[in-house]
Structure 1
Amino acid sequence: MPVNLASIGKNSVKMVPSMKEVKLESLWAEQTVVVTFFRRFGCVFCRQGAKELSLLTPLLASHNVKNIGVGLEEFGLEEFVEGKFFNGDLYVDIEKKTYQDLGYKRYGTFGVMMSLFSKTARDALAKNKVDKLESNLKGDGLQTGGTLVITKGGDQVLLDYRQDNPADQVDTAEILRVLEIPNPAAKDDAKH
């Protein structure tokens, strides 16, 4: 399902920490953006992904690209902010309207439990044992999310990444590729 920016752009989100309501389209009106729709602020997978995306924030900013995170509820928000899991602008889509409009998958209780047995989830949980990120089970654990890369003014969607499994995360190298930003990690790999 293609992304209809004109439609989702009219949706309201609340800016953290002020909780001032703004239209989603205002996020990409003045510059290109990477917008990640997190499943849940307390989700260990989301926190891992947020940490990885945060590493891109200075590089993105140097190319006039804003790194934005959107959550679907306030549960776990305070802890997420205090834990400094995401280094970018943060918003909340309280009505979950954008998640619905984008067609992001919702699991049933059984489906989400089964997804935790996937290789992706097992690998992410093993990584978390090393990273020791705290998490919680508060809130809506059935929603999936995704990441959009949208050009300034909403002219084009360069990337429409959708989670299939709650542990899926967008590849940060793919974000840089679609933005045509040289990947410093690739240069480091070439040196070894």
Structure 2
Amino acid sequence: MTHYASSIPAPQVNLIAEDGQQVPLAHLYAQRPLLLQFSRHLGCVFCVDHAKQLLKHYETFAKHNLGVALVIMGKADEAKKFREALKLTFPVYADPDQSVYQAFEVPRGNVWQVAGPHLWWEGLQALKRSGIGRPRGDLMQLSGTYLIDTNGQIVWNYRPSSSAEFPNVDEILVAADTLSPIADA
């Protein structure tokens, strides 16, 4: 489900980089708008598949002056392993206690939303494209996608109603194209 937000400040939080250092979220959107993607648990076939889709479209995002960052609920070394395993060219940050997920109010689901029969076919397709991982983390956590402008405002977000849902790349680009790449003077 897509939501357009106006003037909703992004939480002032820190993410954990692959080297274990804390990085203020504000540093990630200081120079250009940021597409911030929260993943589900580390073994989620939908999330691995979506990370690969973000990689596939990464150059397009960059042409639209949009930075990309992925947040996982693992530790710093797991963020590094995840990025390296998928050969991602954008940063992956850790949030082991899900405090950043909570600050952004990334939704949690129920059994029907994360593993219901209506998801099985899509799950098999994602499995064929991207393989499977060992589930680690909060299995009920859903994903979330947020577009943050250079003024630190969440201007667009996508909160899925199931584990298989992610925003369409074109929707992201339309929202990104409405932003000024430079903070208001």
Query: TM-score, normalising length from structure 2?
Result: 0.80
The structure-2 alpha-carbon separation of the partners of 1:132 and 1:23, relative to structure 1 and needing over 3 Å to count, comes to: closer
Distance in 2 between the 1:115 and 1:144 partners? 7
Residue among 2, 5, 8 paired with 2:9: 5
Match for residue 97 of structure 1? 99
1:27 and 2:31 matched? no
* 1:134 alignment partner in structure 2: 132
Q: CA separation of 1:159/1:4 partners in 2, compared to 1, >3 Å: closer, same or farther? A: closer
Q: Partners of 2:27 and 2:174 in 1: how far apart?
A: 24
Correspondence 1:1-192 to 2 at 5 A: 4-6=8-10, 8=11, 10-16=12-18, 18-74=19-75, 76-84=78-86, 86-107=88-109, 111-112=110-111, 115-119=114-118, 121-154=119-152, 156-180=153-177
Alignment partner, residue 181 of structure 2: none
Greater than 4 Å deviation, 4+ residue runs: 1-4
Query: What RMSD in Å do the two structures reach over aligned CA positions?
Result: 2.5
CA distance in 1, matches of 2:108, 2:96: 16
Q: Which runs of 5+ in 2 are unaligned?
A: 179-185
For the residues of structure 2 that align with 1:63 and 1:98, how far apart are their CA atoms? 26
Higher helix share: 1
| d(CA) in 2 for partners of 1:170, 1:50 | 12
Letter in 2 for 1:104: V
The CA deviation at 1:117 is 2.1
* 2:45–2:130 Cα contact (<8 Å) kept: no
Give CA-to-partner distance per residue, 1:26-79, whole Å, 9 cap, x none.
111111111101112221111011111111211122232111101122285454
Partners of 1:24 and 1:33 in 2: CA distance: 10
Give the Å deviation of 1:124: 2.2
- Please list the CA deviations of residues 54-109 of structure 1 after superposition, one character each: whole Å capped at 9, or x if unmatched: 112111222321111011222854542232164311111223122112222224xx
**Which residue type is aligned with residue 96 of structure 1?**
Q
Identity, % of aligned positions:
24
Distance 1:77 1:135 in 2: 14
Aligned-partner SS, 1:83: helix
Task: Report the 3-state secondary structure (helix = DSSP H, G, I; strand = E; otherwise coil) of the residue aligned with 2:139.
Answer: coil
**Matched-pair contact (CA < 8 Å) for 1:149–1:160:** yes
Change (3 A) 1:134 1:143: same
Equivalent residues of 1:44, 1:136 under 8 A apart? no
Provide structure 1 residue ranges, at least 5 long, that are not aligned to the other structure. 182-192
TM-score by length of 1: 0.78
Residue 185 of structure 1 corresponds to none
Change (3 A) 1:99 1:124: same
